[in-house]
Structure 1
């Protein structure tokens, strides 16, 4: 006996009438027209953008840095067609994210691109670089020794991608005596212009990474493959790159933001600024403020806002390791949160200018006030006190609860 009846059923012959053929053809044509119209309307609706704020996302299969940024734009805010703006902005932003990914890449090289990785692979060689990379390197090099701490940045990056405390501890110089010893031996090289310095040839966009024979030998013996690196400032310069590309294309009704704390207002709009604090492992918004027009801001925090955040590592004990590395290889944060902002300079220069005030045991208010000469202003949060040096900055939503009460002072 068969489990299933698989024998075919008899086929019935059905006669189709040839009456009303013209009517049937007409109905078929109408159905096709209606169907095509519906599809066309759906496509048109999908490609037609309403006026207002919208996030512009990268539209390319090429590897890019778009996932690290938010690009929001007020489509049609200037009176122009929002759909046309959306199409152009998507193209411009996508191309910029691909280019920035390649140009600032420190881990791999690309054909016909001279990037940070390429420079590290060709020490003591005169090299011509892209103008925007040249300017970024120049800003870093003349802002202290941040650019030359690349060996430290590499180890901390591995810590931040660790899944467990045991793994993270291997990359922690405060608990790994062997790594601490290596850092102490690295320090004389990264802190000395005799051993490593980037030379700039004015007007040519050419550079030369000078590395001493002693440092080169030390690097080879200790598997160090980078002499320069942007570290935590990288996305500050990428934000500038993206913003300037969009502005130069004639679009100024939006902003570029990065979860690393870097923000670029393109102009012609107002933007909200938030200051954060942490108490009992809980993150709070301490207060808010408003920035206007074409501006840049940099926020340095002693804790992550989201989890996971691969720029920090939080041990089970609650200890937080930040990406802000001092010259001796230690991670430091002088307060909960420091924000600097300006209409005169970009994120890269802001980050370099306030680095020494944040990567320290205490905030250097004298140094921050000196930056006011360049119209760079600061506001920071520490011990439930918000301190600011811009008399025109108005703070709102200052937190005052049973758990946390913040006061405001000028410095």
Structure 2
């Protein structure tokens, strides 16, 4: 083959040049723009349909990473579309209120860390025998405890030690924090309780205009110094009862009252005023039945055992099966739960008042059934399991499992 032979070229058809008509240029531009607009509108509608909240119950989360906040201990469910605003407008407003109030509450009720411009528990602890101006919400809470005769929050030094037990992973670690295993610690807790119970040793003076003075005797100051602590006041396991009220009040003041606020440790504020049934899970170590109720309602649950994963932060179960509860009895400083569980509820008061009323009934050596029954006269009711029967102090209670026997305590 001749190496200089001409290569065979691939056939390529000749392209015909088409001249576009210059007529109706504007019309074509209008059509193109219209087509683009329709496409953009369709995309926007699709995104809007995906992102816009629908009417109904929805969990509300705080805005992004908001720093120090109590939001991880609470759940807010809100019934969007119940008000006059659109669901999206309503969700934005509720989210903003919830975000701000969670951050505020975290700082106000903190017993260890002081924050600039915030009169909190830590500020009171840092200045014994000095006048301190505190946040109005904290002032109201401390005054409420005082009016109810509750002195559990004066066990701060004991809680500072005892709460370490909930960080333990092995039984051998618990003796450093458990007064029921450690005789020396039991003596220490008894001494702290003795100080806490004596008004002449430690007490809060309410001076008006949100000013308080924590009076602490010289003897107790010296004793606290030996423990290397100044945490005289600590709401500990009671704290979230008052935070639940704080969050609820913030929403109500903002004009939003179609939500349910629940803490991981048993405090619920149901703000819903519409005719709708709600169900509260009752336990007898394991799930027992559900109680039906209607809002608005405050509910407080105290238990002598853990039931969920988050309870590991406030209960410790020894290998023997014994459970260490978060509640310390102010009379002797020892952890106690007088019954398996108790759910108290009321339409008339918040979680804080409710807790103050039932605390002496539950945290002690014996369950005061008579006192609990007497609270029904004030619109505060209790439900608790006893030998397979659900006891209740209200005239009637609706339980989802009709096979479970109920008993009216009066």
In 1: Cα distance, 2:363 partner to 2:49 partner: 50
TM-score relative to the length of structure 2? 0.86
Taking structure 1 as reference, are residues 85 and 191 closer, same or farther at Cα in structure 2, changes over 3 Å only? same
Match of 2:320 among 310, 317, 334: 317
Larger Rg: 2
Is 2:388 the partner of 1:384?
yes
- Hey, what does 1:10 align to over in structure 2? none
Residues 58, 94 of structure 1: 8 Å contact kept? yes
- Hey, what does 2:168 align to over in structure 1? 162
In 1: Cα distance, 2:36 partner to 2:117 partner: 50
Between 32-41 and 191-200, report the one with greater CA deviation.
32-41
Is 2:119 the partner of 1:114?
yes
Per-residue CA distance 1:119-171 (angstroms, 9 max, x = gap): 11111111222211111111123332112111222222211122221112321
In 2: Cα distance, 1:365 partner to 1:220 partner: 40
- Hey, what does 1:329 align to over in structure 2? 333
In 1: Cα distance, 2:126 partner to 2:50 partner: 46
- Hey, what does 1:213 align to over in structure 2? 218
In 1: Cα distance, 2:103 partner to 2:18 partner: 62
Taking structure 1 as reference, are residues 88 and 308 closer, same or farther at Cα in structure 2, changes over 3 Å only? closer
In 2: Cα distance, 1:306 partner to 1:41 partner: 41
Is 2:56 the partner of 1:52?
yes
- Hey, what does 2:146 align to over in structure 1? 141
TM-score relative to the length of structure 1? 0.86
- Hey, what does 2:360 align to over in structure 1? 356
In 1: Cα distance, 2:395 partner to 2:299 partner: 17
- Hey, what does 1:367 align to over in structure 2? 371
In 2: Cα distance, 1:72 partner to 1:239 partner: 13
Shift of 1:303: 0.9
Match of 1:273 among 280, 283, 286: 280
Shift of 1:371: 1.8
Per-residue CA distance 1:331-354 (angstroms, 9 max, x = gap): 111111111111111101111110
Is 2:277 the partner of 1:244?
no
- Hey, what does 1:193 align to over in structure 2? 199
- Hey, what does 1:291 align to over in structure 2? 293
- Hey, what does 1:408 align to over in structure 2? 407
Shift of 1:19: 8.9
Between 186-195 and 391-400, report the one with greater CA deviation.
391-400
Q: Secondary structure at the match of 2:230?
A: coil
Two-structure CA RMSD over aligned residues (Å) = 2.6
Shift of 1:246: 0.3
In 2: Cα distance, 1:241 partner to 1:265 partner: 13
Shift of 1:39: 6.0
